[in-house]
A and B are shown apart, each in its own frame.
Chain A
Amino acid sequence: MPGTNNNNNQHSDEPLDPRMLEQLNAYLDYELSEEQRTQVRDLLRRSPAADNEMATLKATSKVLSELPPVPAPRSFAVRPAMLEQPAKSGRGFNLFGWMPSPSFALSLGSLAAACLLVLVLTAQLVSGSGNHAQGSVVTASIAPPTPSGQSGTGQAYNNYDNGRTAPSNPPVSAAAAQPTATTAAAVAPAPAMATAPTPTAVAVTSSMVMSATNASSGSSATSGAGAAPSAITPRLGYAPVATPPGTPGTLTNNYYSGATATNPSTSTYAFNAKSGVATAAPSNNQANNPAANGSGISASGPLPNQNTNQTNNYNVLSGSMDYWLVIEIALAILAVALGLGALIAQRRSR
């Protein structure tokens, strides 16, 4: 009945239109023009539900407005020392008045880390300066020495480090083909694994130049690969591992430190890792199968009595992709994912 003020429970049975509810609240807060107030008054006279709604809303508003102020526990005067301290509440830091939220800061940090990793990766791959001596295992089954009697042993190494063309003392335990070598190099040619020259096995790495030295029958290969694993300077805590003599097919990881040695290189291979094609530029008649990836090269040693024209097989173990690269790529992906996740979380929180 118009004009009555029924406080029934109709407000819950007949919910008002949200816009009408806004009008009632605005009326309550004196935020309507006089014309609008008149319209609301007419509505309240006509609709008991609206009238009841208004009554309860007004009671709620009054309850809130009657809440007494909570006394401040202390003075909040600003002292000079406070200006140097980090904020105690939500924001972690205040950089020149710009106060990013923690999630935004996290996303920025993650993206920065990702960019840094990508830069490092790119620099390594482009310059070939990774010196990824760790990890990659290259097995070279080195053919017997050439009749030319060139000194040196079968060396296969990656010129993957700082552009050095002939890292001496190749990481190779390169059981090099030194018949005369007193080293542990005399290892039987690596069998199946070592005989499969698969350039594709190293296709993961980018342009990499590998110069491989195929030593011919080891004459004076004292500095040759097979010469002295012990001469290899370990790097990053890796100790060179020598292939025990007489261990056929033994693979040796050589984590070389880039120690130099004289290598009578007889052949050089430019290895395009992207295409997986090795271009051989042998200086002798040997056919070479470059298969070096990574820096650790293990050469299974010479067969002293083999034909000198026999093909040298440098094998790269499949899966010998430099795992440091993999780790770096994974870290980069992880950092990007973290950054994106933080950004998404921040947007959702807003």
Chain B
Amino acid sequence: MTPTRRTRLSALALPLLAALFAAGCSGDPLHLLPEAASPVAREVDELIYLIVYVTGATLVGVQAALVYFLFRYRARKGARAKYTHGNHAVEMTWTVLPALVLVLLAVYQAGMWKRMKSAVPEDNANAIEVQVFAKQFEWNFRYPGPDGAFNTADDRYSTGIMVVPVDRPVNIELRAMDVIHSFFLPNFRFKQDAVPGLHTKLWFRADKLSSARQPVADRDGVEKQLDYWDIVCAELCGSQHSAMSARLYVVPDEDYEKWVAGQPTTLRLPPNSLRGPEDSTTGLIWQRWHWQDSREIKGKPRRSRGVLLFGEEDSPDPEASQDDEEF
């Protein structure tokens, strides 16, 4: 067999094998990912595995060829290298084949991306609405209350805890109140930046109760039973960025209704964060908004801006935020 044909055959065989492999598996056979808690997450996992197999096969193929060549063609006495400047057919093969694989991958995932990111979920009639306000270093949530509309007196608020019903789409409007944050749900394979000035629409649908979460091992290998999914801030937002977490509880419908009804109609806030008269467009406060970066908090105001921001204010304490509040 000529080297050209051999190359062509193996280049064809690898992605094919990979695709077969991918079709035969589902879930997370290699334990690469956190537990999936939504239909979209499972779809994404399939795509991840498809890419793992395609790239994995390519990786093994290329590295094996490399090592084989290094061994087979190491300099030996009297050997002379083959004098060749290339081969058009071979070049065409390894240009067109990867191009096809890449385009197929791109087309394959396009629909998934659309379903994930479109503002309206597939079954919107049953959806609930939540507004998410990110600020240094906590997540605030607003629910419309019994009248189903935001910016009314019966809006319900929560900080650090988000509760949604199982098997119903959740429509979110995401906003940031100071710097950029990112709303990351690892178990939902979902992430969206919260950008000041943008009102970003997103949605997800949980199909697994958070109380049914599988135990998670800690650093000593001890398994811990958690009853919430994690909400993570994934975009650097200041010195306490790594502590900007919240909990997402996925509960049966009736528990959700009960919980929302029991939430306060004003936002309970740590000192010096959201205070003052209510703004008609956000329902939250811009007027007395303060940058609450820890660099001022630690009592070392910056030369100009820090003093002016915090000059007459009581010094806020980041520990006072109630994100450990029990549900």
- A and B co-occur in one complex: no
